[in-house]
Structure 1
Amino acid sequence: MSNTFNRKQLTARGLGSAALLLACGVSLAAPAAASTDRTRDGSAANAPTGPQWPLDLRAATLTQKGLNVVLSLRTSGTISAASISALDGRSLCVELFRPGTGVAVRRLCVKAVDGKPRIVKEDLNGAGDPSGPKVLPGVSISRPASNRLVATVPATGAGLGIGKFRWQASSAWVDSAGCTVPGCSDRLPASPASARYVKAVPSGCVAKGASVRSNSSRAHRVVAISFDDGPSPYTAGMLATLKRHGAHATFFEVGNQMSGRSAVQKQILAQGHMIGDHSWSHPVLSGGGTFASSELRRTKARITSQVGFTPCLFRAPYGAISSSLVGIARAQSMLTIQWDVDPTDWARPGSGAIASRVLAQVRPGSIILMHDGGGDRSQSVAAADTILSTLSRRGYRVVSVETLLGLKITYG
């Protein structure tokens, strides 16, 4: 897709059933003027009239960003997950419809769970009644203003597959001051808007900032997990575990381990993970020089030629770095990545010990070091399941190192 479309924004008003491409920042926006079906205590109105209720919808945007969809909602009043969840009949959602129909099959709603705002997926029956609520993992929620909410949701978690779908934002408000049962409701746009979710595969990233990093900001409960020495027969199991938990990772790969394993490398990228350079043959490279330069360059070129991804991160074998080696990596447009959480899973101390060590060391902004190659990694795969489920319960989001560091990710 041409980059000229990356920030193009399209409005839902007057689009009818035309399918819109939602890829790499192309968005489908619904301006407030498009809403024509507000109700006040059940009575229909063709335009917003009378008092403004807190959840009157002023704008709604749905954007695909790589393997995620970004929901942006703006209301008349303050958005509070706690106040929405306080009473039955209150809701703020985006409904997803079966293509070519007016039948909503699921919705993504803002709710308070354990006192924190979360996105909850609910399936809808033919009558529109919700069931099977599930808190979606891997979701990031930000609040640019008191009346705005932006949620980044994994598309697979939202139930979106490749192809067309329709969407519509909806809200309902019940209180004792005019919006009594059945309450006040709003929809934007007035009719479900058509869109298309397209396959987006990462093609690279852009190095910026400090040349050596072992962690990121401690201000947010976000951590990165990384796996070294693959690809290997254990990589597929690690991918299945990450997918189950809605987590993402960076795989630092060894060049001479890639032969015959392009399929699992492509699976890494297809699931939204990243690939880093871990040298060609895993020697100590801290001495720098032409040998070290060749080890990095050969591996980077092999990754690019084999799966079409150009890494911007390098991890030194054994973590042995020097200013010379860091300079070599930077000259090849790569940052050098260390870590601040190391369970020494390579020594196979048992899956319980691996998990306990990670969970004892991890803090906001941590970079976790684990292994998917270089030997029997069944313990690491088993430990990852415990680690990811526990981090989720603690309120952490698990991302790739690139995402943790805020690096730009490009898509082919």
Structure 2
Amino acid sequence: MSSPASNAPRALLAGRVLAFAGIVLVAFSMRAAVAGLSPLIPEISATYELNTAAIALLGAIAPLSFAAGGIFTPRIEKRIGIERTLILALVLMIAGHILRAFSVNWQTLAFGTLTALVGMGFANVAMPPAVRKYFPDRVSTMTAIYMSVMSISAFLPALIAVPVAHVVTWRGSLLQWAVFAIIALIPWVVEYHSHRKDSSFDAPEAAPLVRKVHPWHSPTAWSVGIVLAVSSITGYAMYAWMPVILIDIAGVTPAQSGALLALFAGIGLPLAFVVPGLAKRMGKHAHWLVTISSVFYLVGYLGLLFAPEHLIWLWVAIVGTGCLEFPLALTLVNLRTENVRSSMALSGFAQIVAYLSAALAPPLMGILYGSTSSWTVVLTTLLVVSVALNVPAAMILRRNRTVDAELHAKV
């Protein structure tokens, strides 16, 4: 298959079945190391006697690994190309899954988790440029497809982890995700060996600018990073604390709190499918989606603050809908750049901003609650942070500039 050179629309799979399969299979592997581990913690703890600090460390590895992906992936891709970058990401995932399954103590379990998550961090950054390279005429469609599959990969492993562990132990449950990553590796190995010449990066004059001027000089790059950060902060904060918060403020049972967390996560699937196409159709008006997200956060958090005993499922669903910014940001990575190279640079930069911010959210929430003994203060802080960060991001995106154009002005 040759790399698409034109943005003229053509059949989705025309001449690019391998790339389609590779993108979908990588997307299915991109959350397994996170989602497939948490439900198994009680069984793993019985083997290794994990303490609270060890569990907290395992939880903190994810956003920090994803931030590391933002730092290193663009540099790696410049040297080896996008196909081999994805191959490297999958090899790290496979190695990490295997290390975890055959770990001998919690330290090797943590190292295996780190290895798998660094691979996922590389894939996080490489996926939008891969879509841009192979599907320049179908960016929003392919973004919607891979984001939808990634959403499935966020809740399916959690759903089946324990039942599989009951059959093949927790080690077998962790090992199964290595099999899926191996399957995802096949189309990219074939793709690389069939087309070693990475011609899509050759010509664009704007591309060298991204190498000379870092995206932090671009207001648009910062706005995309902030949009991704707001959704990531909300997501990691809710995954860490939502069950505890809802039990305290709404009086739900632990089982009900788990179901409400699943509702929060499940909202991501329709959003992943709808938002990329909507952003593409809105074009220069896509900044309104950031404003709409702010409205959802405002209504959802106010509902949790003032009426938690009533319609709790509705407030949770509304806050979850505010996270439409996650697929929006990954779509903007391609909509606000002019070539694959700058798409890679923006993807890496945005994910550094987002995941470093997300890594701080859960512990800061814990500190804030510990010092105030009030979830009202915590939820109010999340509300204020979400809306306050979205305002400048929307204003910058309203200018409808690309990162490339802004970097041109800096040279």
Q: Same fold (TM over 0.5)?
A: no
TM range (shorter): under 0.3
TM normalised by structure 1 equals: 0.25
Tell me: higher relative CO, structure 1 or 2? Use CA pairs within 8 A at least 6 residues apart.
2
TM normalised by structure 2 equals: 0.25
**Which structure has greater helix proportion?**
2
When Rg is computed on C-alpha atoms for both structures, the one with the higher figure is 1
